[in-house]
Structure 1
Amino acid sequence: MSVRAPVEYASVASIKGPLLVVEGVEDVGWDEVAQIRLESGDVRHGVVLEVAGDLAVVQVFEGTQGMGLERARVSFGGGPMRIPVSEAWLGRVCNGRGEPLDGGPQVLGSELREIGGHPINPAARATPRDPILTGVSVVDGLATLVRGQKLPIFSVGGLPHLELAAQIAAQATVRDEAFAVVFAAMGVTNADASTMRERLELREPADDLVLVLNTADDPLVERITAPRLALTIAEHLAFDLDRHVLVVMADMTSYCEAVREVGSSRGEIPSRRGYPGYLYSDLASIYERAGRIQGKAGSVTQIPVLTMPGGDVTHPVPDLTGYITEGQVVLSHDLHVRGVYPPFDPLRSLSRLMRLGAGAATTRADHLEIAAQLYALVAQARRIADLAEVVGADALSEGETQYLAFVDSFEAEFVTQGAGELRTLDETLDRAWAVASTLPARELTMVSEEALRRHHHGGRRT
């Protein structure tokens, strides 16, 4: 695809917040990149948000402070934002425009690729299969992440979702195949960014991590380009270089708020809770870039992290995300208050593709059985705990009291895990059986006799 030679305009008609309106333009399109040259010689960057006749609305990445109408010169690049793609991204840290933040040279490649990308054609999709092991028991054991899946983390402000996302990114592996992690951080505080970079240092020896970093004080538009840039890098690594790539995107709520703010600046009519009416398709254009492609060895797997304002799961961001993705890991405020990390809520969490990545052929023969059993036992324990609040713990039977002891063991021995603690899959499943064994074997109705004999500490059902 040919790119038009840049044409420079000195016809800035108005400046409103981060937006420039340039008049007299020709052959300028949406999403086209722009450069704004100031009288001082400084150069700022932008992207075309809207075109109407000979008017173009440009969002300036670095803001319009100190910019005058008469002295600004705007040139359009002739196409959408592009980045070079190559394996040289591995081990690098960049901002939402792809500029290095690690003191290294600009990344170069033999090909420039538009960051907008395209969702994978459904006709070309291959079925997700095989696990990505995260070293986190609640994920590997109860909500297994499958290569090619989209598995979001739902959280609320104040919970350690960024710590969990960084831990997963630092520890994730696949067996005997090339792997990489691309982490896109959007709108995070400088303190959170520092903590994430410190935890992600665990991946540095493998030299298979790319970090795209947009902090809360960075340009707003970079928050919108960051996930697309990260996915463009991931797609090249996966579908051109045959790697399995995990893309972690945190926080998608910050991304959506940036989309809402840009829409407001453009004067768009807001939809639900002030978000633009196209938010669903915008999120789908990101999430549907995950998957596997027939005839390609690699895969792109996504973990979007999002915060639910006020814990409201009906808020547009988690609501729309839930429609597009294949399950969710939900974090619990109550567990966090009790000091449980990660504060995983098992009865609100699931991986809809778990059966494609777990079982005798991929993890362990008893994996699906013990996972289903733990879910059932936790559900029963919750019902008994609710009953105890009404009638009092003293009124419970001995069997019911055993369930309360089970859930304490489940949270302390299985769910609770240090932020830097890496558990193998065998250790995770052995811990699952250990907490299930706090109940008599007769209570374990969802596992086979063979699994019960092999793993339950009490042996056969009676």
Structure 2
Amino acid sequence: MAEAERPAGKEYTTISEVSGPLMVVEGVEGAKYGEVVEVETPTGEVRRGQVLEARRDAAVVQVFEGTSGLDTTSTKVRFTGETLRIPVSTDLLGRILNGRGEPIDGGPEIVPEDELDIHGAPINPAARKYPSDFIQTGISAIDGMNTLVRGQKLPIFSGSGLPHNELAAQIARQATVPGEEEEFAVVFAAMGITHEEAAFFRREFEETGALDRAVLILNLADDPSMERIITPRIALTVAEYLAFENDMHVLVILTDMTNYCFAPGTRVITASGDVVEIDEIVERAAETAVDGGLREGSTEVTVGVTNVRTLAAWDGDLTSNDVVAVEKIEAPSRAVRVRTRSGAELVVSEDHKFLVDTEDGPRMVEASELKSGDELYSVRELRVSEKVPTYLELLLEAEDKFYVHPTEEFEEAVAERYGSLAEACREKELPYRAREAKERRYYELSEFARLATAVIESVDEATEYIDYVTAGGRKRVKFSSPRPGKEVMYVAGLIASDGSVDTERGFVMFSNTERELLSAFEEIVTEEFGVDASKTENQNGVTMLRVNSRVLARVFERLADPKTVLKMPRELVAAYLAGYVDGDGHLKDGKIVITTADRERAGDLQLLLKRLGVPSVLRERDGAYDVVVTGHDAAELAEELPLRHPKKAEAAASMSSGRRSSRFDRVSRRFGRLLREVRRKYGVRASDLGSSSTISQIESGERRATRRLALEIVERLEEVVGDVEEVRELRELAEGNYVLDEVVEVETVEYEHEYLYDVTVVPDHTLVVENGIITSNCEALREISAAREEVPGRRGYPGYMYTDLATIYERAGCIRGRKGSITQMPILTMPHDDITHPIPDLTGYITEGQIVLSRDLHRRGIYPPIDVLPSLSRLMDEGIGKGKTREDHPDLSNQLYAAYAEGRDLRDLVAVVGEEALTERDRKFLKFADEFEQRFVKQGRDENRSIEETLDLGWELLAILPERELKRVSDELIEKYHPKYRQKKEEQEE
């Protein structure tokens, strides 16, 4: 909305809770529902919001820009006493606004004639005038078969990848009320669209001149999702002003009133460092869902903050987000497989969005619109909640029985606490084992843990009371420290790469030919655990070291797993990777290559490398998988890894002198364009920043700047112009926590699974998946519902969603005594073509019909792909016929519908029995169905048919059928409009 002078209001700093996009402010007096709130952060940034719920002494505030980064102790909240209002004027015609109603077209400020509350109100049924006037869209499938009537609510049900945007733009350009063209206007509101879609709509309206009688309101995909809730209300407020204050007939087009999903097995990276498959997250959340979870065969959504926190990335930084909704959706027949240069592979629904680099910066793009060469944003350095498990924790997770032999100090401490060891065992309900010799006394691991809680404050202290641990045999393991350190993690890397763990037989083995590695393994195992390794040599001269210990088998089963290592601090990750490279990696030609036989293990290694800020490429060869690091990244990795293999350590040392760039060194395309803008604004010469030709190539996009070159340019620029906002943005682009992962293949595939899975996370609405790819989720109404911890309705949407939609749709119509009218055409993209999705389903109850787009027609090249059979206009009969369109319109439409339906049925029959089995009559109906689609439904994207042209075309198609089959049209109309009789009449007149 347009900025106005900040009104005086009460200010509070009593934020008690932040949840998703909402915050609770305590001690508030007199707050009103819908009241505008200004939120001032400690940095001086001002965000806007509105009161969603007013209690006796508190207010729930919805923050449009999100609550990320708000400090509850020092953030100020100012209640303005005003509701959300928009300045309105007839000068809005021809203008382009953002989702908040602010001009973004570079034109002058709007001089308001009034300011109106955006929430408005549905038209009073007592004042509502029944719609009865025809609106011509110029599209035969609508005008002829599903006629739009002035004041009607007629939605378009579409699917991902279908041309609903093109259809919406065409309707907006062509629609008119015959005879009242000068009083007709269009308000076009688009929610959650990409920049490419926004550019398309602007171009369509500007180049055709349609903008002169239209208002465009554009909310982009990377604008705050909360904005999408107010955007349609702003559009309708503008429409109401034009219609009921200026006597105009206004067509309101709203796209898109809905919105993505992953195949099972897609790996999501959580804030705790766990890598969890998305279907596991959904099913886990469902088990504890407030609505009883996902029922068998259901597509219900579970809402409520789960104990899963995912990593989200936006603007190059990582944040931790709550999962507030999960969804298990019956899968479509098709999905999109996306492969990237790094080796990431994702199968997603066609409407799922990825963060793609452009000259304007990161933009969300649907999978169906991706193409080879696009660059996806991926995280450079994974930052998670770090944790190093204790050895006791690792053993407690195993099913084996382990026995702790405590020190004398332990029993003395327990006796001091309880009076005696026997008394302590009785209180803890544990067996008391009295032995002749204390050194023979032992406890099962779980028993020891229960006793230890009485005398220790941390798990680390428990290790001090352990003499040794056994698995029931003689092999004793004595831990030198509570948790693994760098030495042990190096051994874990050796075992993971060139060793094995057998938990059934209870041993750990490492085999190699390099003496330094063998010695390191022996020394560390003995020093850290007090055990020795047996040594054998095979016929190939490979030495095998084996430690027979069921205890260490369980310890290294976990420590050798990259998923465990992912949560550890950086130095332990580096130690593990050093062991892995020493065992089964090689350094050559400026590359570091780690090889594994397992695809999932290769992906885990890529994530481990990203814990160090190192991107890599996964390549498959001869049944093995290479994880390859090149260029500057390889040199920096070589410096950080504490390698012990003599030749590999030597190669690592020499690698630093020959650094080269890799594709992952590129910065965003935005850098070049912004650099040019900064130079022009501040009058900086290219030669002041380096080679003039290099700067010119970067600015034109001919050359991509590497991170290092970009940083050098920024540092020189800072010397010239100082620390200004634009230069800070350039520095963020040069140093940001991202890499650009090029798309190498996009293909539509037959979907092989029963379900797709989705999660909604707040506040950022993005997920980090697979090897660091940044992707999207989220629908705003579900987000608010989850944040308020409301009892969920269908598929996680709030129970009041029917009412919420009705307050939008019921603002359309005609009012008695007013000349103007509002007609609505909301466009809904049905996730996975599911017409039972809550938003299209409830929309169908509220509105007066629907236009349904067909994926089958679209695949066969028919535009617009309107399927007239499931489509319906409930008010059509009121707006057609004599004096409105033409007298033959009702009967003609019925006959066309019946003939096309029969032809479609016969098409299905032909697929079974073949066309030769049909009668001559049947063949004519079959031909009619084909011709109806090719000539009546199909038309040019710029073709504007009059209603007369549409009806005449319908009669031409009916001429394909025997006249006796035209049973729904009167003989009088046949003689008047059938081509056979019209031709005779014209010949007679001539």
**TM interval, short-chain normalised:** over 0.9
2:882 is matched with which residue?
A: 360
Over the aligned positions, Cα root-mean-square deviation in angstroms equals: 1.9
Letter in 1 for 2:26: E
2:25 counterpart SS class: strand
Does the residue aligned with 2:186 lie in a helix, a strand or coil?
strand
Instruction: Kindly provide the amino acid, as one letter, of the partner of residue 244 in structure 1.
Output: H
1:361-380 equivalences in 2 (<5 Å)? 361-380=883-902
**2:233 aligned with 1:228:** yes
Q: Find the counterpart in structure 2 of residue 402 from structure 1.
A: 924
CA contact (8 A) 2:173 2:210 kept: no
Q: 2:502 aligns to what?
A: none
| Matching residue within 105, 109, 115 for 1:106 | 109
Alignment of 1:58-77 (within 5 A): 58-77=61-80
Q: Partner residue of 2:942?
A: 420
Aligned residue among 326, 330, 348 for 2:848: 326
Once the 2 structures are TM-superposed, how far is the Cα of residue 206 of structure 1 from its aligned partner?
6.3
Deviates more, 1:426-435 or 1:69-78: 69-78
Aligned equivalent of 2:257, options 224, 237, 252? 252
Map of 1:296-311 to 2, 5 A cutoff? 296-311=818-833
Q: For 1:10-409, what aligned pairs fall within 5 Å after superposition? A: 10-177=13-180, 178-201=183-206, 204=209, 207-254=212-259, 257-409=779-931
Residues 10 and 84 (structure 1), Cα distance of their counterparts in 2 relative to 1, 3 Å cut:
same
SS at match of 1:347: coil
Does the aligned pair in 1 maintain the 2:205–2:211 contact within 8 Å? no
Distance 1:104 1:77 in 2: 29
Amino acid at match of 2:256: D
Which secondary structure does the structure 2 equivalent of 1:186 belong to?
strand
Q: Secondary structure at the match of 1:207?
A: helix
* One-letter amino acid matched to 1:242: D
Q: 1:262 aligns to what SS in structure 2?
A: helix
SS of the counterpart of 1:45?
strand
Q: Please state whether the residue corresponding to 1:321 is helix, strand or coil.
A: helix
1:70/1:206 Cα in 2 relative to 1: closer, same or farther (>3 Å)? closer
Deviation readout 1:270-315 (Å, 9 max, x if unpaired): 1111010001111111111111111111111000111222222222
Aligned AA (2:971):
E
Give the AA of the match of 1:158. G
Q: 451-460 or 133-142: which moved more? A: 451-460
Answer yes or no: is the 8 Å Cα contact 2:95–2:214 preserved in 1: yes
Is the 8 Å Cα contact of residues 12 and 76 (structure 2) preserved in structure 1? yes
- The one-letter code matched in structure 1 to 2:240 is E
Check 1:106–1:62 CA distance in 2 against 1; reply closer, same or farther (3 A cut). farther
Quick check: 1:167–1:200 contact (8 Å CA) kept in 2?
Answer: no
SS of the residue corresponding to residue 190 of structure 2 reads strand
**Shift of residue 4 of structure 1?**
8.5
User: Matched residues in 2 for 1:311 and 1:115: separation?
Assistant: 32
SS at 1:21 equivalent: strand
Q: More deviation in 192-201 or 217-226?
A: 192-201
Distance 1:107 1:58 in 2: 29
Query: Contact 1:93/1:101 (CA < 8 Å) preserved in 2?
Result: yes
CA distance in 2, matches of 1:45, 1:334: 44
Secondary structure in structure 2 of the residue aligned to 1:253: coil
Contact 1:9–1:75 (CA<8 Å) still a contact in 2?
yes
1:5: how far off?
4.2
Give me the TM-score of the superposition, normalised by structure 2. Answer: 0.45
CA distance in 1, matches of 2:916, 2:53: 67
Aligned-pair CA distance for 1:406: 0.9
Q: What does the per-residue CA deviation read over 1:214-252, in whole Å, with 9 as the maximum and x for residues that have no partner?
A: 111111121000111100110111111111100011111
Deviations 1:33-89 (A, max 9, x none): 111223433321111222333222222212234433343222112132011222121
| C-alpha spacing 1:153/1:35, structure 2 compared with 1 (3 Å) | same
- Assess if the C-alpha contact under 8 Å between 2:225 and 2:779 holds in 1: no
3-state secondary structure, aligned to 2:228: helix
Moved more, 373-382 or 107-116: 107-116
Deviation, structure 1 residue 203: 5.5
Higher Cα Rg: structure 1 or 2? 2
Amino acid at match of 2:137: T
Stretch of structure 1 that moved more, 405-414 or 419-428: 419-428
Higher alpha-carbon deviation: 437-446 or 120-129: 437-446
Q: Distance in 2 between matches of 1:452 and 1:315?
A: 43
Residue type at the aligned position of 1:229: I
Q: Where does the alignment leave 5 or more consecutive residues of structure 1 unmatched?
A: none
Q: Which runs of 5+ in 2 are unaligned?
A: 1-5, 260-777, 983-990
Task: Compare 205-214 and 113-122 and name the one that shifted more.
Answer: 205-214
How many Å apart are 1:195 and its aligned residue? 1.7
Equivalent residue pairs, number: 457
Q: Secondary structure at the match of 1:122?
A: coil
Partner of 2:985: none
Distance 1:169 1:250 in 2: 12
Q: Contact conserved, 2:93 with 2:211, CA < 8 A, in 1?
A: no
Retained in 2: the 8 A contact 1:170–1:201?
Answer: no
Q: Secondary structure at the match of 1:340?
A: coil
Following superposition, the deviation at residue 190 of structure 1 comes to 1.9
Return the letter of the residue paired with 2:185.
A
Q: Which amino acid aligns with 2:64?
A: F
Query: Is residue 20–residue 784 contact of structure 2 (8 Å, CA) maintained in 1?
Result: no
Q: Which runs of 4+ in 1 moved over 6 A?
A: none
Contact 1:171 1:203 in 2 (8 A): no
Report if the CA contact (8 A) 1:61-1:220 is conserved. Answer: yes
Change (3 A) 1:272 1:17: closer
Q: Distance in 2 between matches of 1:357 and 1:409?
A: 27
Superimposed CA distance per residue, residues 7-41 of structure 1 (whole angstroms, 9 cap, x where no aligned partner): 22233334333333322211112221111223433
